[in-house]
Structure 1
């Protein structure tokens, strides 16, 4: 594990929310975007949601409806990933994995069409309306959508707690590199802790 497993800036309280990124069937099942070790981190994520269901917001990455849809390079992207458009994949696979979908409600969902949950959504407004200034981040992939979520939150001034054993990627090398980056380069804005440490420190 990279870094010190502690909440360096103190315990978490009522101004904290849990942002769970893209724990969806299309990444858990045998598709071209399968994240093989999502099942390994899922029990950790479930523990966090069980402890704080009302404080949890799930994001869902919603792909293009048809190949060729999308602006700019996203059009080319879905020409490459035809199999992952809704027309080929099926709308049901956009859903959260069953182990997490049962928590909605009281947990909330945010749908997005790009990596970042901050673009084209009301996520920031929802959080600010609830007095949230701290985000616990779990989900996948560590080096793609989680990275985009974390950097967007940093830019908006949130305290970020990344749960190291609650993240997954299809690339072990990129996952490890991102944990090093979170702990080292963003050390004043991002804390890296395990699920056990998080739950002990979120009162």
Structure 2
């Protein structure tokens, strides 16, 4: 199935492709290494139109606000005072692909929680967002919903997203995404690449 060509104002947003999720931690997401080649492929076709979102944890659970404190009390091994240095870094080779202005940090599930993110989209006249990364049912889906609310064209790269919970991943792909068919497009990496190249 083909995809209508992409606008020149398309942005590829890579969600949480970090060592934090790739390595042996409580948040390990095994599929992250499987989807990495497709994420790289999207980065290569989008050249300087990829943005990398990094999930940032607080130094200690007590430093988190509101109910996030409960969350980090549960995930007590995932705060900055416990994690090994560098665990918040992007996986390689994504770190090499990202320029210093191509990385945003977020303390929320959605990339739209990153300071100035929505304003950045407006300045760059972004009208289409392609999402890749982890996890399908958490940070990726939260970002998708905010992008839809912002009125953007939203495309989910089906083979460039993944979750530690396969049932939750399938629930998004089989049940939740189809409910938003007027506002959310799903396509394989190659289909997106083809549409992007037609747009250029």
TM-score norm. by structure 1 comes to: 0.93
1:106, distance to aligned residue in structure 2 (A): 7.1
1:127, distance to aligned residue in structure 2 (A): 1.3
- Distance in 2, Cα, partners of 1:201 & 1:120: 28
- Distance in 2, Cα, partners of 1:201 & 1:156: 23
- Distance in 1, Cα, partners of 2:17 & 2:115: 18
- Distance in 2, Cα, partners of 1:79 & 1:112: 19
Give unmatched runs, 5+ long, in structure 1.
none
Partner of 1:152: 146
Structure 2 CA distance for partners of 1:95 and 1:106, relative to 1, 3 Å: closer
Alignment match of 1:78 (pick from 72, 83, 89): 72
Partner of 1:66: 60
Alignment match of 1:6 (pick from 2, 9, 16): 2
CA RMSD of aligned residues (A): 1.3
Any residues of structure 2 matched to 1:9-158 within 5 Å, and which? 10-105=4-99, 108-158=102-152
Question: Contact (CA 8 Å) 1:19, 1:137: kept in 2 or not?
Answer: yes
Q: Comparing 100-109 with 112-121, which one deviates more in the overlay?
A: 100-109
1:91-145 CA-partner distances (Å, limit 9, x unpaired): 4100100110101217601100011111241111111111110000000000000
Query: Does residue 192 in structure 1 map to residue 180 in structure 2?
Result: no
Structure 2 CA distance for partners of 1:191 and 1:22, relative to 1, 3 Å: same
Q: Comparing 22-31 with 119-128, which one deviates more in the overlay?
A: 119-128
Q: How many residues align?
A: 197
- Distance in 2, Cα, partners of 1:182 & 1:199: 24
